[in-house]
Every structure is written in C-alpha cells, then in structure tokens.
Structure 1
C-alpha cells in the first residue's frame, strides 16, 4: 500500500495534522509520500509548488499500483487543487480520500455559483471516502450531497508540563485574522476587571493587531510571541491561566484539543464542531462570536474561580476521543476498507 498525502505545508492546523500522522507512525507499515501543494508564501511560489505537486503525483501514480491518495482540503483554491488531484487519480484508477478541514467551507459552498456547487457535490460523491471532523459537518455534507460521510476526529498527543500555572495569564493561539476573533478579544480586555496579561501566539494581520493594541493602550498588558514551536506552545498551555479562541468559523481546531489535553480552562465559541466538544460549565465555557462584553465577563469568571471540575471533564473527554490511541486505528481501518473494496 502506497499512501500519498496531499496538502498545505503552511504552518497551521492542517500541516500539524499531517505531520502528526507521520510522527505517530500511521504510515510505519506502508509506503508513504507527502506532497506539499501550498505554502502561503506568495502567488508565484504557490503556483510553482502546485505544478510541482501535479508532476510528482502523476509520476507516483504511473510508477505504483495499490495507491491511496489522501487529500487534505479546506476551501477556495484548496478545493480546486484537490479536485484536480482527484481527477488525476481517477485517470490512473487509484483510490481517493478527501479529508475536509476547512472551517469556512459552509460559507464557501453557500456563496458559490450553481455550477461550482455542482462541482463540489460531484467531488464529495465521487471520491472513495469523504472524511469530516465532527457530526455537525457530517450533517452538512449529507444535506448538500445526499452522502453520509465518515467522521474521524483530529487528535494530538500532548501533555501538560509539570509546572505551576501563573495567575491571570490569558493565552490566544491562532492566526491573526478577524475570523479567529482576535480583534474582539483585544476590545474585550478594556472591560475585564481582573488583573491580566495576554499572550498572543500566531501571525497574520500583524500590523492591524498592533495598531489596535496601541489604540487601546494595551502594550504593557500584551506579549506578542509570534509563531511558537511545539515546545513553546506546550509550555504556554501549561503555565497560563485560561485559553481563549473566540472564532467566528471553525471545523474542530487542533488547539482546542491541545488545550483540553494540557488541562487549561477554555473559553471559545459554539461554531463548527466546537460545541460537540466544549460544553458550557462542563468541559469549558462558551461565548457567542463578537459578543465583546460577554467575553469580558467570561474572562473575569474563569480568572477568579476554581475550574478544576471543568478541567478534569475536558481531560477525560480528550483521552476518550482525541488521542492517537483512539484515532489512528480508525484511519488504519478506513485505509484497509478502501483498498480491499
């Protein structure tokens, strides 16, 4: 069996998912090739990378039999790239999986032209398996295509470091874009009554974020770490007091799973697959997207209360649903089923 993984190599959730499969030996008993299809490093570089990916894929499809092509897809350009890769696979009569990660795929579909919607539905119905991250996404795909697709959660193997938490430390891990709610978070801090220090980890609209920090006179209360590596991320998840991700759209973010594993109380929004995992006052805390004042109240509550029961519930849910010991056997079974059909 030769598995070909196709997806972005840009830092973020999809890249960490693919690398996690490699690091946790999903492919140890198989031949595996990872092909980067996008890097977010400028249009010229991304076009070059895409063309190179097509050439590599055709070469591998021509030389190998018993091939399974695993496409990691989000939306927009990612959809069209994966459509082309699936068509190439069909020319060579190879098996295909499309694995949907895109948090804005529902909006992308809803705002698409009738012809593009037909292409999307065609792709869903003509791959050997279409995989989503949560039951809510399964319902959405079923509603638009009539196909009941597979649900396999993301996972991460991570543990809290043996260090004490520092009081009043708020942690944000994610892209610096409006969809992640970073601007709402900064505005909410003006209404937080507790002492706090915010740690921002990520990148994107750096200048806009810094301008708002300046405007709100928050420079002394915010540390911008930029992108952090796995070790730095684990340390921050282990020592900060609360993790917050006030997104407008999500699938099921890897960082939510990481936060559950690292036993830090979570404030987030009931979007995408998140409310299947984060339940108010049980495994975390929820606030509606864009509700700045409500966000401030939640931050005050979590920073000033004992969250041990919520933390324990979240850790238990993580161990039951989101560790490699639970998820990787599901991928093994899916690969075997597809290749034996």
Structure 2
C-alpha cells in the first residue's frame, strides 16, 4: 500500500504539524506501507524527511497566500503526482495544500483525508480572513474527502458552518514524552518554557507583558523561548527591557522534550489553536501547563489541577497564573503529575498512530488476528 502525505510549508521542523506527519509516516512505514511526501517550498523539513529515507517532492511555488497562477500550477502538479505515484490514500495537512489536494484527489478518484491542524476559520480578530476561509471550507466540504479534527473543538467548528457529521471525525493528537529522575524543585527561579512559531497566531504580546510585570514585582523566574519564524525580531522587541538571563531566546532544537524535562512549567500563549501538540508533549513530560483558552486547550488542561487557562489578551490572568507557580512551588509537582495522568489515558502516541493506521486502512485488524492465530 502507498500513502501520499502533503503539507503546505517546509520552512521549519519545529511545528506540531510537521512532527505529526513525521510520526504517522514512520508508523505507516513500520506497517509496511510505502510513504511519499509532498511539501511546499524547499526548506529544512524536506531535508529532514529525505535524511530519514523518505521520498519527498518539493513544490517551490506552493504558498500560504492566495495566488491564482501559482495555485493553478500547484493543483496540476498535485494531480500529476497522484497519477504518477498511484497512492491508494492521500493525506493533506494544513489549509492550502488541504484545499488543492482535496480537489486533486477528487479529480483522480483517490481516497482522501484532510487534517487542518487547527481550524482555519476560527472567528477571532487576529485570524485575518477567517470569513474567506469559512466560505472556502464550506464549499470544499462537498468534496469526497473526510476531515479529521484533532479535538472536539475542530469537529464542532465544522458542524457549526454546516458540514455533514458524516464527513468529520476526531483523532486526538498524541505525543511521546520524556521524564527525568534528575529533575527536582529548587530554591532558584521558576523555569518557564515555551515553544511556538514567531507568527501572527501566537500571542507573545500578552506573555511579554506578564513577564514585564513579574520582573517589576521582583518575582524570581526565567523564560526560555524556543522557535523561529518571520516575526522573530518583533517578538524579541516585546521582551527588550527584561535582562538577558531572565528571558532567553534559544532558537530551534531537534528534540524539544530534552529541554522540557529540564524546565518547571510550560506556557503557550496563542490567539487560536486546534489541539496543541506542544501542550501534549509537556503533559507527557509531567509538566504543569499554562495556555490561552482557545481551541481545544480546555480539553487538555484541568483548570487549577493540571494547569491554568488564560483568556486571550488577559495580561493579569497570565501574570496570576505564572505567579501561582512562583509563590506555590509544590503546585509545579502536583499539577505536573495530574497532567501526566490525563496524557496517559487520552493522548499517548501509540493510540493516535493506531487510529490513523486503522482509518487509512493500513492496519487490517482481521488480517492481524488471523496471523496471530496462525503463529
């Protein structure tokens, strides 16, 4: 069996969507399926996949922004790829290739899935053009492709705009974690950590303002920021008046879990989300979490038991949430253990990967049962 997996961008290897397509690709390969990728641009994500032994097509003209000429050319390239590679299943991840790919799949009569990794038409002022995305998604929903939401919030948003319930299913994100027996609370500053692209989706303004307030109040803390993106200089400017050593920009790392296990509390400040894989990874590493109350974040965090949910733009609530861990350090341990308990029951990686493999028809349960009986 062959599966073609597509994603819009290739300029970063730290995004949750990229980690996701890597993990399902490895799972499908383990199950003896042939996996081929197609990614927009010509970035480091393509290099990483090729180094892992996958066949990867680059589409330099595929861009997030609407461009009728480049979109038309990209659509024909996707059709050509499907016809030449002859996959049994195509799987599209993120909005632009999700739109073009579903059209290409219909025209080539292929079984198709779309995984948005965050509903593109969330109604928030920061999501510029959400009304356009809503119209497009409603129109595309009439195509044969199924839509896989990563949380109940995703599913409910599609139902809200009138998409048939038969077209939408939920497979919750899952992650691997890493724990360290060497980690322990100290008398030093609380070490907060975040990982998010420097783009319009992420609310670094609120996080920075809360950090300024903590610094002004002489609260002992540090914040390590991992990520990259087009708004990096702007984000750095938000924290400019806080001394180095308190705020640390750490760039991109290949294994963020190694950094998580050294930290105390994970923070994610966003304007919109699906079901953030970064939070799940933090939960898997037994970390308490603070997150904006958007998308499926409230499905992950048990308020005041495993972490804190913060309304968008609410500097005071973000400040208070961070202060809770600075002033009451035992909460770091207790909330981290509660987060891990939620993770193990609902968001472990094997559960997610098996769900995708079964849905795509890569794992045949009856065939596996027969093989076990024969053995």
Structure 1 111/328 Cα, relative in aligned 2: closer, same or farther at 3 Å?
Answer: closer
| SS of alignment partner, residue 131 of structure 2 | coil
- Report the counterpart of residue 106 of structure 1 in structure 2: 122
Q: Distance in 2 between matches of 1:109 and 1:175?
A: 17
- Report the counterpart of residue 130 of structure 1 in structure 2: 147
Q: Distance in 2 between matches of 1:238 and 1:71?
A: 32
Q: Distance in 2 between matches of 1:239 and 1:317?
A: 21
- Give 1:23 deviation, angstroms: 3.2
- Give 1:119 deviation, angstroms: 3.6
Q: Distance in 1 between matches of 2:319 and 2:343?
A: 27
CA root-mean-square deviation: 2.9
- Give 1:56 deviation, angstroms: 5.9
Aligned residues: 327
2:21 to 18, 43, 48: 18
| SS of alignment partner, residue 317 of structure 1 | helix
| SS of alignment partner, residue 239 of structure 1 | coil
Structure 1 134/110 Cα, relative in aligned 2: closer, same or farther at 3 Å?
Answer: farther
1:181 to 203, 207, 225: 203
- Report the counterpart of residue 233 of structure 2 in structure 1: 207
Structure 2 residues without counterparts, runs of 5 or longer: 45-58, 64-69, 365-375
2:263 to 230, 240, 243: 240
Structure 1 31/54 Cα, relative in aligned 2: closer, same or farther at 3 Å?
Answer: farther
- Give 1:40 deviation, angstroms: 7.2
Instruction: Confirm or deny that 1:195 pairs with 2:220.
Output: yes
1:30 to 22, 29, 33: 33
1:85 to 101, 112, 115: 101
Q: Distance in 1 between matches of 2:210 and 2:87?
A: 54
| SS of alignment partner, residue 212 of structure 2 | helix
TM-score (norm 1): 0.85
**Quick check: 1:264–1:311 contact (8 Å CA) kept in 2?**
yes
TM-score (norm 2): 0.78
- Report the counterpart of residue 5 of structure 2 in structure 1: 5
- Give 1:60 deviation, angstroms: 4.3
Deviations 1:272-314 (A, max 9, x none): 0110111201222112111112211211111232123322221
Deviations 1:233-281 (A, max 9, x none): 2222111121111212111111000100011111111100110111201
Greater CA drift, 328-337 or 192-201:
328-337
| SS of alignment partner, residue 18 of structure 2 | helix
Q: Distance in 1 between matches of 2:235 and 2:128?
A: 29
- Give 1:137 deviation, angstroms: 1.4
- Give 1:324 deviation, angstroms: 2.2
- Give 1:87 deviation, angstroms: 2.1
Q: Distance in 2 between matches of 1:139 and 1:179?
A: 20
- Report the counterpart of residue 173 of structure 2 in structure 1: 154
- Report the counterpart of residue 67 of structure 1 in structure 2: 88
